[in-house]
């Protein structure tokens, strides 16, 4: 909400225009308010397998269907932030020419606005205009998830409301979100006990120090190679409890910024060694803000 140049108070509408209490519209473009869920999570839930997310608690959550179920997060009212490997999976063999991003965009489905899969399907998928994959992502390197970030542009802006709101991005240079012990939330519709759940789940996970994660990775191999844990990633969770799994990939690792009172996407669910065998690894969004801004051209960064 903002104050207009006249005597009235102007409200930001979903289409990006301002409207006052008398129904008059003003010229300046406004941007959707991010990171203000109607029913934010207030307690630290660390239930094994995750807890059911109340409606309105993660209103930026997207469910994607590309090579299977995946996740994403709404930015503004036109963009979905997700993981590159949901677009070009590591496990998918390269036989002949790789499917183009144009072809992928034509068959990609994105669902928004609810916490149950059935209701999401009833609401219907949002048509896609374009898909962008970070140039640093290497789809043929199964042990290396560096650059695991992608953007999906919707054809039309979504209508925002209590169950559909964007998440904020971190301020450039603010590395406090990645401090050891800082709590964040991973949410998604991923695999749970060998089946796909019908309800959005979430779990609280602490950011873990790099040294602990590097030590935990020591001796572990992916296709006979040491998994890459680059500076563009961070790790969260515990070596002794369940983490995210297939179907959660691409979803946001969200944190509450105590200073602004807004929820911020600090990471993207990226990779791990198994689904229930320790730490999870996340794309560090802070390192990709320039790329996101360059693609979207938006001013809400």
Query: Angle CA(165)–CA(126)–CA(299) in degrees, nearest 5?
Result: 45
User: How long is the chain?
Assistant: 301
- Cα dist from 147 to 30, 41, 137, 283, 285, whole Å: 31, 30, 4, 7, 10
Domain 49-295 has CATH 3.30.43.10: no
> What pTM did the predictor assign?
0.87
N-to-C CA span, the chain: 18
Mean pLDDT, rounded, for 277-292: 94
Residue 41, helix vs strand vs coil: coil
pLDDT of 276 reads 59
Residue 91, helix vs strand vs coil: coil
Of the two residues 278 and 68, the one the predictor is more confident about is 68
Q: What pLDDT digit, counting tens, does each position of 254-272 carry?
A: 999 999 999 999 999 999 8
pLDDT of 273 reads 85
Please, are residues 250 and 70 in contact by the beta-carbon 8 Å criterion?
A: yes
pLDDT of 33 reads 87
Active site residue 85: yes
Band (pLDDT 50/70/90 cuts) for residue 42 is confident
Active site residue 156: no
Active-site residue, selected from the candidate residues 114, 144, 146, 148: 148
- Could you say which DSSP state residue 131 is in? E
Active-site residue, selected from the candidate residues 51, 57, 85, 144: 85
Q: What pLDDT digit, counting tens, does each position of 76-105 carry?
A: 999 999 999 999 998 765 544 578 999 999
Q: What pLDDT digit, counting tens, does each position of 191-230 carry?
A: 665 667 789 999 899 999 999 999 999 999 998 999 999 9
Nearest CA among 74, 78, 69 for reference residue 245: 69
H/E stretch holding 23 reads none
- Could you say which DSSP state residue 157 is in? P
Query: Angle CA(289)–CA(253)–CA(68) in degrees, nearest 5?
Result: 100
pLDDT of 30 reads 59
Active site residue 249: yes
Distance CA 193, CA 50 (A): 11
Residue range(s) occupied by CATH 2.40.10.10 in the chain = 49-295
Q: Is the pLDDT of residue 3 over 90?
A: no
Band (pLDDT 50/70/90 cuts) for residue 29 is low
Active-site residue, selected from the candidate residues 51, 249, 254, 270: 249
Please, are residues 161 and 186 in contact by the beta-carbon 8 Å criterion?
A: no
Tokens of 45: 């839930």
């Amino acid at each position: 909400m903002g104050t207009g140049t006249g005597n009235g108070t102007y409200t930001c509408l979903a289409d990006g225009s301002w409207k006052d209490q008398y129904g008059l519209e003003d010229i300046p473009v406004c941007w959707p308010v991010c990171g203000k869920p109607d029913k934010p999570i207030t307690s630290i839930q660390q239930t094994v397998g995750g807890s059911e997310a109340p409606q309105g608690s993660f209103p930026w959550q997207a469910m994607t269907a590309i090579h299977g179920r995946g996740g994403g997060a709404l930015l503004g009212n036109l963009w979905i932030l997700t993981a590159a490997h949901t677009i070009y999976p590591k496990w998918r063999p390269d036989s002949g020419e790789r499917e183009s991003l144009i072809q992928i965009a034509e068959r990609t489905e994105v669902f928004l606005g609810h916490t149950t899969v059935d209701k999401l399907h009833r609401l219907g998928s949002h048509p896609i205009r374009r898909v962008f994959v970070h140039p640093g992502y290497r789809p043929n390197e199964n042990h290396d998830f560096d650059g695991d970030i992608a953007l999906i542009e919707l054809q039309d802006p979504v209508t925002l409301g209590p169950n559909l709101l964007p998440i904020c991005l971190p301020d450039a240079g603010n590395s406090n979100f990645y401090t050891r012990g800082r709590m964040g939330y991973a949410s998604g519709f991923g695999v749970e006990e060998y089946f796909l759940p019908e309800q959005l789940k979430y779990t609280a996970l602490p950011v873990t120090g790099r040294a602990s994660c590097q030590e935990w990775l020591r001796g572990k191999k992916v296709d006979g190679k040491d998994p890459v844990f680059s500076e563009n990633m961070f790790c969260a969770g515990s070596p002794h409890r369940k983490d995210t799994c297939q179907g959660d990939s691409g979803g946001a690792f969200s944190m509450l910024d105590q200073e602004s009172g807004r929820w911020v996407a600090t990471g993207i669910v990226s990779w791990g060694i198994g689904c229930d065998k320790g730490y999870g690894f996340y794309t560090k969004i802070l390192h990709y803000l320039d790329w996101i801004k360059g693609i979207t051209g938006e001013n809400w960064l």
